[in-house]
Amino acid sequence: MELWFTEEWLKGLRISVKVDSVVYSTQTEYQKLAIYDTKQFGRMLVLDDVIQTTECDEYIYHECLAHVPMFAHPNPENVLIVGGGDGGTLREVLRHPTVKKATLVDIDGGVIEASKRFLHQWNSGFSDPRANIIVGDGLEFVSNADSEYDVILVDATDPVGPGEVLFALDFYRSVKKALKPGGIMSAQTESPIAEPAVVKSIWDRVRSVFPIARLYTSPVPTYPGGWWSYTAGSTGPEPMVPLRKPGDDWGLKYYSPEIHERAFVLNPKMQKDIGVYDQGGDHR
Ligand code: SAM
């Protein structure tokens, strides 16, 4: 009998993925966790019936979330990842030779353990001596930090359940306080195609907290609408300008300095839906 995983993207719109085998399935303290091997997307992590990351397109999301702020910062040494228990963002951060320490705080130790056992494409960073892995609530952790991090990356689940607090105004205020002067943060901020009103409300919060706020996008075929947004907040560097470039030996598949700059170009509908009009032209 065929097995299919189905996620409800929106009311009246579902994505179904043919499952070859169930690699792992459990209920953690916080969420239902499943890892599937699938026909089209390879290995796939699902939390509470929502696709989190798949073998075939995770590189786009993780390279965009991590490398845009990392390359916009002149010298990222101390980096914090909030969420990101699969390890993909950590893997990308640790490619940067400037990084001395990368702390990852995920509320669910079950995700980290599952990644270590089954998500080999994602999990290389967990064994890096620069990685500092903490199981705990990201909001609480960030609230207790003061001028510590060069770059903060928010790799959260959607703004429902345990991830909801990671999209609140108070959280972004705490992120700003946790950054060193001249720091930069980037967060995954949902789909500008499927849920533009959600993207706008997050954008409005980030913009009200950070002196420089920029929105950028990339395709991610397995996320609702197939197109994803990231919001950068900075207290110094211009997020749109890459200051260095990746080594040829990094083996990146999506990010390049050209992609970095183009990711900030928003089409007229997105500009209008989200209310972002001022990203062109004057940043050089
Ligand atoms: N790339 C994914 C996406 O856009 O859907 C996110 C992937 S990552 C697996 C999300 C992680 O955020 C999960 O491991 C979850 O446990 C973690 N998380 C959710 N709420 C959190 C919180 N309050 N503090 C820290 N981590 C949290």
Tens-digit pLDDT profile for residues 186-226: 999 999 999 999 999 999 999 999 999 999 999 999 999 99
**The last residue of a domain, from among 11, 27, 54:** 54
User: For atom 20 of ligand 1, which residue has the closest CA?
Assistant: 163
CA of 185 to the centre of ligand 1 (A): 16
Residues 6+ apart with CB under 8 A from 55: 41, 42, 43, 44, 121
CA of 105 to the centre of ligand 1 (A): 9
Residue 1's pLDDT is what? 85
Residue 162's pLDDT is what? 86
Active site residues: 155
User: For atom 17 of ligand 1, which residue has the closest CA?
Assistant: 83
Q: Which amino acid belongs to residue 40?
A: Q
Assigned token pair, 263: 């990711």
Q: Summarize pLDDT for 132-162 with one digit per residue, the tens.
A: 999 999 999 999 999 999 999 999 999 988 8
129 and 263 assigned to the same domain: yes
Strand partners, 15: 7
CA of 26 to the centre of ligand 1 (A): 16
Residue 283's pLDDT is what? 42
pLDDT average, residue stretch 246-251: 96
Instruction: For residue 86, give the ligand 1 atom closest to its CA.
Output: 9
Residue 97 pLDDT > 70, yes or no?
Answer: yes
62 and 177 assigned to the same domain: yes
Rounded to two decimals, the pTM is 0.97
Name the pairing type of β-strands 101-106 and 131-135: parallel
Residue 83 pLDDT > 50, yes or no?
Answer: yes
- Residue 185, H or E segment: strand 179-188
Residue 284 located in a structural domain: no
- How far is it, in rounded angstroms, from Cα 180 to Cα 201? 26
User: For atom 16 of ligand 1, which residue has the closest CA?
Assistant: 108
Average pLDDT value over all residues in the chain: 96
**The last residue of a domain, from among 21, 36, 54:** 54
Q: Is the distance from CB of 87 to CB of 123 less than 8 angstroms?
A: yes
- Please give all residues whose beta carbon lies within 6 A of any atom in ligand 1, as ranges: 52-53, 61, 82-86, 105-108, 111, 137-139, 155-157, 162-163, 165-166, 188
Residue 281's pLDDT is what? 43
Instruction: Name the percent of the chain lying above pLDDT 70.
Output: 98
